[in-house]
């Protein structure tokens, strides 16, 4: 293990686990072996990632009964049907309750694999090996797993913690610029919602980060995972503070639901959603105009959209937002900003201000 490798522990009692962040960790056999209980290992990946990293991961697991299942790539396949393909593979291989699942891929693979691990024989072990920036800084940490339903995203799932998260930043080499930017939306989110120092660090180094300088990327991912871990430790099941991680997500999920899969990447929709949240926060009297410009500026520098560049009416967007899980008894709850680096969950914002912001983003 290179001395540049960083290790972070997520402290959740008997569900605690380590996060490793470093260069070429996919070659570090012991990192994996230490987390595998039995002899049966199922690698779950997709058609894009399999040709890049599946052989490499399989080869270091010699001595285990390693099987793999290769799913189609894309959020539109995060369904019950795809989940069932994982169960098919496990049962066809006659894997028992000592088996371990490895999620090798982005957020969709991690979410499906985690839920499969939570549900197969009522729970087997799993390891997250996130290969996109988005999943490395967000979805692979914290134990949220699940699939979409045609009536809403992430509606079916489980809170289920991995045995470990192994983040090999070399996998970012094969990520498209668009996917890298989408990940940056979640990176910037941590700055906005609770870490003003980190936001300043991002603003100061955005060009080098976008150039994917590895030492800096490791630092950035470590910061994000640390912020997320501290929140998850306080509120594993999202009864309170964890909801702050949804900054930009209720608007963002609305945009994703309304336009359907393939129009906006998750991170892109979240980017627009964070701008909407910032503008509503300004109208609620919390942020200055200059601060909202700072939000737009850092997102733009990360090559992210800050407005909806397609036609949608307000009613469609609001209906799509109200399907979001954060909605309680029909009311739309939102994460808003008190200042840059300080957020809160509320449903007591002015409806007039809310409509004004929604209307200004719709046409």
Site residues, a copy of itself (CB under 8 A): 38-40, 80, 84, 87-88, 91-92, 94, 96-98, 115, 118-123, 144-146, 149, 151-152, 155-159, 237-238, 322-323, 325, 327-330
CA gap 194, 227 in Å, rounded: 8
Report how far residue 98's alpha carbon sits from residue 313's, in angstroms, rounded to the nearest whole number: 51
Catalytic-residue membership of 56:
no
Q: Is 266 a catalytic residue?
A: yes
- Reference 81, options 129, 9, 149; nearest CA is 149
Which of the residues 228, 279, 326, 333 is marked catalytic?
228
Look up residue 254 and give its two tokens. Answer: 């609305």
Q: Is 338 a catalytic residue?
A: no
Q: Quick one: 55 or 96, whose CB is closer to a copy of itself?
A: 96
Q: Which is nearer to a copy of itself, 27 or 121 (CB)?
A: 121
Does 325 qualify as catalytic in the annotation?
A: no
Structure tokens at 92: 């066809």
Q: Which is nearer to a copy of itself, 54 or 90 (CB)?
A: 90
Helix (H) or strand (E) holding 137: none
Which residue among 153, 163, 189, 253 is the active-site one? Answer: 253
Is 290 a residue of the active site? Answer: no
Cβ distance to a copy of itself smaller for residue 53 or 95: 95
Q: Which residue among the candidates 148, 154, 195, 246 is catalytic per the annotation?
A: 246
Beta carbon of residue 61, minimum distance to a copy of itself (angstroms, whole number): 17
Structure tokens at 259: 């336009």
Q: Which tokens in the block code for residue 9?
A: 């522990």
**Is 242 annotated as catalytic?**
yes
Q: How many residues does the chain have?
A: 363
* CA-closest candidate to residue 68, choices 82, 54, 80: 54
289 labelled catalytic = no
Task: Indicate if 149 belongs to the active site.
Answer: no
User: Which of 238, 284 has the CB closer to a copy of itself?
Assistant: 238
- Residue 81 CB, shortest distance to a copy of itself, in Å, is 9
The C-alpha atoms of residue 101 and residue 122 are separated, in whole angstroms, by 13
Least CB distance to a copy of itself at residue 123 (A): 7
**b/e for 323-361, b at 16 or more Cβ within 10 A?**
bbbbeeeeebbbbbbeebbebebeeebeeebbeebbeeb
Does residue 247 contact residue 287 with C-beta atoms inside 8 Å?
A: no
State the catalytic residue, choosing from 94, 122, 239, 289.
122
Q: Which is nearer to a copy of itself, 38 or 74 (CB)?
A: 38
**Cα distance between the two ends of the chain:** 53
Tokens of 60: 């270091």
CB of 322 to a copy of itself, least distance (A): 8
How is 170-224 classified by DSSP, letter by letter?
A: GGGGG--HHHHHHHHHHHHHHHHHH-HHHHHHHHHHHHHHHTT-HHHHHHHHHHH
* Candidate list 144, 153, 189, 325, residue with the active-site label: 144
Residue positions annotated with a catalytic role: 122, 144, 186, 228, 238, 242, 246, 249, 253, 266
């Amino acid at each position: 293990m290179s001395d540049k490798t960083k290790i972070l522990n997520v402290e959740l009692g008997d569900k605690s686990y380590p996060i490793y962040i470093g260069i070429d960790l996919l070659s570090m056999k012991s990192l994996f072996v230490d987390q595998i209980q039995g002899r049966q290992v199922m690698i779950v990946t997709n058609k894009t990632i399999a040709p890049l990293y599946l052989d490499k991961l399989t080869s270091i697991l010699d001595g285990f009964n390693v099987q793999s299942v290769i799913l189609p790539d894309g959020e539109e396949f995060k369904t019950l049907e795809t989940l069932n393909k994982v169960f098919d593979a496990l049962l066809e291989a006659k894997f028992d309750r000592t088996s371990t699942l490895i999620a090798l891929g982005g957020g969709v693979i991690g979410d499906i694999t985690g839920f499969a691990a939570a549900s197969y024989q009522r729970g087997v072990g799993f390891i997250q090996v996130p290969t996109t920036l988005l999943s490395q800084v967000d979805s692979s940490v914290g134990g949220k797993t699940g699939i979409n339903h045609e009536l809403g995203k992430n509606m079916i799932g489980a809170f289920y913690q991995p045995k470990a998260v192994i983040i090999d930043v070399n996998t970012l080499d094969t990520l498209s610029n668009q996917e890298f930017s989408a990940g940056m939306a979640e990176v910037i989110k941590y700055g906005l919602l609770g870490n003003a120092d980190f936001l300043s660090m991002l603003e100061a180094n955005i060009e080098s980060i976008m150039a994917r300088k590895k030492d800096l990327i490791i630092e950035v991912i470590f910061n994000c995972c640390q912020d997320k871990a501290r929140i998850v430790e306080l509120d594993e099941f999202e009864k309170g503070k964890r909801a702050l991680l949804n900054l930009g997500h209720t608007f963002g999920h609305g945009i994703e639901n309304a336009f359907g899969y393939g129009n906006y990447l998750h991170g892109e929709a979240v980017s627009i959603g964070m701008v909407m949240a910032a503008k509503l926060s300004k109208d609620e009297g919390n942020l200055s105009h200059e601060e909202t410009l700072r939000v737009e500026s850092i997102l733009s520098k990360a090559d992210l959209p800050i407005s909806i560049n397609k036609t949608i009416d307000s009613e469609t967007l609001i209906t799509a937002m109200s399907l979001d899980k954060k909605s309680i008894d029909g009311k739309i709850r939102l994460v808003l900003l008190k200042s840059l680096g300080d957020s809160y969950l509320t449903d007591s914002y002015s409806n007039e201000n809310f409509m004004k912001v929604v209307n200004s983003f719709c046409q």
